[in-house]
A = this chain, B = another copy of it.
């Protein structure tokens, strides 16, 4: 592999910012492309290009100037990345992987093709078509493209709900009888080395379908953990992905594991790894795309990660309250994303809480959950 000296990142949000906080430990130059000149990466990147990562020419020209292109959001212009790859640029994760994952329909077909357990589904092209599948109800409608952070997803319980359904190419997925949601972050480098992070347990905020908090390690049996990790490894292998990949899964009440969906990049369910694992997901992503040996993912401390969402009653210039109070508690690590404007439920930051046991971190989390608030 030729010497890589510069890396371009499509997307300048919080994932890019946290990636750079770690990646700047290495002697590489970083470039960021984001449409928002006030994006999270603004404060940390001296080579920020303002422009759309969905536009062919913008992505192509941005990519030309660097040795390696990576992403922190998957909704980017794939055609430009394919062209750059054709011209010999390193693009990790690979455009073909992104093209498939961008489309939740293709994701589902990938799981089926490789015998990866996933909830039953059908694909539809319009709202009209949904009526044909009402025998499957209740279902979760997921837009094939463009959804993220709980957007583009809608539960359809009965035929009356169809009038409010998305009129878009979608996946209709049977409701899984969920006992727990878990996530496994797996990394693969160009040489084919693969490593998983210990399984984490995710607790969702049902009001907005966003992760409320996350526990590492998940409170599951060793067998379940092993099986979940095997699934993640199999997916990484079959994809041949270079980079990190988050695989979100359901554990059903019957004890089955079903893959929900995946994200080909550092992920909300890996934020705690900054403090709580020997190697963080951000460092692991860099190691993977640089084709360095993957890092030890062992747990250093049990952890709880709490998403800090904008308070539901406030919009406007963000004000953080209660920080000093929260900092009294040992192992409380706030991460603000540098977003100026808060909106109801906007991801404004997160707090990782480490301790000597899961019980201890749960106790600390109770204490600080209502201490820190993002208002306006």
Binding site for B on A (CB under 8 A): 17, 20-22, 24-27, 29-30, 42-46, 48, 278, 287, 292-293, 295-296, 298, 300-301, 318, 320, 323-324, 327-328, 330-331, 333-336, 338, 349, 354
* A331 contact from B29, B278, B292, Cβ within 8 A: B278
* Bound CA span A338–B21, Å: 14
Chain B residues whose C-beta falls within 8 Å of the C-beta of A26 in the assembled complex: 323, 334, 336
A24 near B46 with CB under 8 A, answer no
A278-B45 in contact (CB<8A):
no
- List 10 interface pairs A-B (beta carbons < 8 Å), by A numbering: A17-B24, A21-B21, A25-B333, A26-B334, A42-B46, A46-B46, A278-B354, A293-B324, A293-B328, A295-B330
Give the residues in chain B near A301, CB-CB below 8 Å.
300
Contact yes or no, B24 A330, CB < 8 A: no
| Chain B residue, CB-CB nearest to A339 | B27
Give the contacting residue for A334; candidates B25, B45, B278, B330; CB below 8 A.
Answer: B25
Q: Chain B nearest CB: distance from A374 CB in Å?
A: 10
Q: Which residues of B contact A338 (CB under 8 A)?
A: 24, 27
Q: Are B278 and A327 in contact (CB under 8 A)?
A: no
Complex Cα gap A185–B329 (Å): 21
CB contacts (< 8 Å) of A324 on chain B: these are: 292-293
CB neighbours of A328 from chain B (8 A):
293
User: B45, A327: Cβ atoms under 8 Å?
Assistant: no
Q: What are the 10 A-B residue pairs with the smallest beta carbon separation, nearest first?
A: A296-B330, A27-B336, A293-B328, A25-B335, A293-B327, A292-B327, A292-B324, A21-B21, A278-B331, A24-B44
Give Cα distance in the complex from A46 to B46, angstroms: 6
Shortest distance in angstroms between A25's beta carbon and chain B's nearest beta carbon?
Answer: 5
Bound-complex Cα distance A323 to B290 (A): 11
Nearest-Cβ distance from residue A178 to partner chain B, whole angstroms: 33
Cβ-defined partner of A327 (8 Å) among B46, B295, B336: B295
CA distance A29 to B324 in the complex (A): 18
- Chain B residues positioned under 8 Å from A300 (CB to CB): 300-301
In whole angstroms, how far apart are the Cα atoms of A45 and B45 in the complex? 7
Task: List B contacts of A278 (CB < 8 A).
Answer: 330-331, 354
